[in-house]
Structure 1
């Protein structure tokens, strides 16, 4: 199973008004094989403190297990070399047995971090568009050495003359 680069992001909402627009955009990107939603956890805390949560993944059961095994093997390799790969793969299979990365403990951590009336989304997204680019780079003898998303806040800092962001960008 070829796995593209995976990104985790957290989005906060001071006054969530979910009308399906985010879901529609994620579907559009999935249909174009641009991204795949590995796991998404959306949590909203009502004004009276009631926790509402939904979870979603684009992975079929067998894809979730293969993803878990692949990621687990990489973690195992990083921890203990080739000897750790098999243990890591087994761990990854077990972690993805329910088809999700995020669990109930994650839901409660998010709920504890938001105030009544607020919401948050934690998403793990696979960048499918990057798989052929990554493979072309590998065939050409290259490898990724750093990556960083440049945020709106980074651009604002650059405009204010901050050198810390510029130095980080120079290191890429």
Structure 2
């Protein structure tokens, strides 16, 4: 199975949140519901200050705890491309996926009484297209494809200070990060 995943270049991201907004629009999410979120980090003391952004959707982990712990099988890993997707009809809103994901990416959808998550825009991927976050980024800070190919091209870095559980879930991401973000 070819595992699809994301490359993210934190060194060029300006935090514009176009990826976050495009995802929100595509998935018709309400206020406070985000399948992709742009996080901001800053620190240091003058004159040595630093800051960076991190755009995260589902990491389509090799060992997704959200799928492993879903009691109804609503969240599962597609065999064709490794995307971690959801059958929302099967979701009972128990929030086990939210509690299981170390990246806090599944979201509770209040109006529906169910959980939802980034599915890598599986419907678009099935048509040979990119997820909306990729094509929306004005600086091309996000790329999508076979994770092994992306790692060959950019390196296999996902060991950031702010990413808990990387050794537990084996996320299908690779990140070009500023030194301040690294473990």
Q: What TM-score does the superposition give when structure 2 sets the normalisation length? A: 0.27
Between structures 1 and 2, the one with greater strand share: 2
Between structures 1 and 2, the one with greater helix share: 1
Q: What TM-score does the superposition give when structure 1 sets the normalisation length? A: 0.28
